[in-house]
Amino acid sequence: MGLAPGSKRLNSNTRTHSADKPKTMTVTQDQFRTKLEELPRFKLSHLNTPLEPLDRFKQALIDEGVEVPNRMLVKRDDVTGLAFGGNKGRHFEFEIAHILEGGFDTVININHYHSNQARFIAAGCAKAGLKYHIVSHDSLDAPLTGNLLLCKLMGAKIHRTPLEYARQVADKIFKDETEAGRKPYILPDDPFADVMGMIGFLETGLELEQQLEEADVSGPVRFWGLTGRSIAGLRLYAKNRGLDWQTTACQYSPGEVEDFQQVTADRSSQVAEMFDLEHSLDNDDLQVLSDYRGPAYGEPDDRVIEAIRMVAKAEGLILDPNYTGKAMSGLIGEFRAGRINSEESIVFIHSGGLPQLFAHADKFVD
């Protein structure tokens, strides 16, 4: 990979390397709390989300002859509440407040027709009284179901366009809204949108530290989820608290693992600076699996369909085909391949995404 050791962000003094690191003090829970409280916030979620056992799922794996850890649990970030819930409910509490603080009255977003992020901004904008345009690309004839339907219900103006014109369409909306005397905000242009997801999951770290103690989980823990800001925020929390928490992130779309690791390390330096943290993330802080991402973004393979069925049947827990089903197919796949260390308790991060399940109903027909 092409990372120069002296490259800009990584040279920042917030970054330390475990090998040459002197014994340092860990950041206190109170420091995280205080810094979180200082940030403007617009409430969208019911927090804390529950941490629940996955005992019947664990038993189903044991019945297959798979070696499993003593404790397997799920962090239910699918039940944040608003608009069918999900991890974006945490992220956008900070983002909507940030938009309101900037005095904007209109939000312009560019994303896929199946985007959970697009749905949450629709919900946040509805609640905050902001006008919302979603430039929805990739599938001009996607049926009005799942997230797209919910966006429409919550008042989003949907502009369907081929991907290559998405930016032009957004710029035109920006111009028209400005001329009409409004103050529009193009979400993907604001760097804050890249770090708020990690910030949202620093708070998840606070919740989990307490919940794991209450659940009597001791020893090493492995958090299992998807590539993104959420799991990175959790790892950043753990690293600065000196906790024995490891993370595995399954990819859900094409892309180089090294690129994700690099972007994540860069973002973590920004968050570390904002929160006055000792450590940011190194490229090898997150284990990333690329084997379970399926044929394309938004397209599940057979293992994902099997994982969704298996967990639903064992636990009454519903996963989605684009994200959490992929993460779960990764967990099941790695268990079956004997690559999971059974000394580590597993906590599966259920990050939401449920409305998109209904857009894939045909894949569940017998």
- Write phi, then psi, for 116 (nearest 5 degrees): -70, -35
Cβ(235)–Cβ(260) below 8 Å: no
Range 307-336, binding ligand PLP (CB under 6 A):
323-324
Could you give the CA distance from residue 217 to residue 220 in angstroms, rounded to a whole number? 9
Which residues inside 111-130 make contact with ligand PLP, applying CB under 6 A? Answer: 116-117
- Give which of 77, 278, 283 is closest to 197, Cα–Cα: 77
116 cis-preceded (ω within 30 degrees of 0): no
207 neighbors 48 (Cβ within 8 angstroms): yes
User: Judged by CB under 6 A, which stretch of 6-14, 56-64, 83-91, 286-294 contacts ligand PLP?
Assistant: 83-91
Instruction: Please choose, out of 14-22, 59-67, 86-94, 162-170, the segment that lies near ligand PLP by the rule CB under 6 A.
Output: 86-94
Contact 297, 254 (CB under 8 A): yes
Residues assigned a catalytic role: 115
Check residue 146 for interaction with ligand PLP (CB under 6 A): no
Establish if 197 lies at the interface with ligand PLP (CB under 6 A): yes
Determine the interface stretch with ligand PLP among 50-58, 202-210, 224-232, 294-302 (rule: CB under 6 A): 224-232
Beta-bridge mates of residue 159: 135
226 makes contact with ligand PLP (CB under 6 A): yes
Q: In terms of CB distance, is 89 or 184 closer to ligand PLP?
A: 89
Answer yes or no whether residue 71 interacts with ligand PLP by CB under 6 A: no
User: For residues 174 and 350, which CB has a smaller minimum distance to ligand PLP in the complex?
Assistant: 350
For ligand PLP, the closer CB: 137 or 184: 137
Q: Does 353 bind ligand PLP (CB under 6 A)?
A: yes
Shortest reach from residue 323's CB to ligand PLP, in Å: 4
The DSSP 8-state label assigned to residue 49 in this structure reads: P
Residue nearest to ligand PLP (CB): 228
Please, which residues have CB within 8 angstroms of residue 175's CB and are 6 or more apart in sequence? Answer: none
- By CB under 6 A, is residue 228 in contact with ligand PLP? yes
Shortest CB 95 distance to ligand PLP, Å? 11
Collapsing DSSP to helix, strand or coil, 11 comes out as helix
β-strand pairing of 72-76 with 51-53: antiparallel
The string over 36-71, giving b where at least 16 C-beta atoms fall within 10 Å of a residue's C-beta and e elsewhere, is beeeeebebbebebebbebeebbebbeeeebebbeb
From the centroid of its chain, how far is CA 247?
13
Total residues contacting ligand PLP by CB under 6 A comes to 16
230 near ligand PLP, rule: CB under 6 A? yes
Window of 59-67, 153-161, 225-233, 333-341 that interacts with ligand PLP by CB under 6 A = 225-233
In angstroms, the CA 345 to CA 213 distance is 13
Q: Give the shortest CB-70-to-ligand PLP separation in angstroms.
A: 27
Instruction: Quote the least distance from Cβ 239 to ligand PLP, whole Å.
Output: 17
Could you tell me which stretch among 60-68, 158-166, 188-196, 346-354 binds ligand PLP (CB under 6 A)? 346-354
Distance separating alpha carbons of residues 315 and 313, to the nearest angstrom:
6
Nearest to 147 by CA among 88, 195, 99: 88
Range list of H helices, 64-130: 88-101, 116-128
Candidate list 69, 85, 86, 330; residue touching ligand PLP; CB under 6 A: 86
When asked if residue 229 is in the footprint of ligand PLP (CB under 6 A), the reply is yes
* Residue number with CB closer to ligand PLP (109 or 117): 117
**Min separation Cβ 125 and ligand PLP, Å:** 17
Phi, psi of 103 (to 5 degrees): 75, 15
Pairing state of beta strands 345-350 and 287-289? unpaired
Rule CB under 6 A: which residues touch ligand PLP? 86-88, 91, 116-117, 197, 226, 228-230, 323-324, 351-353
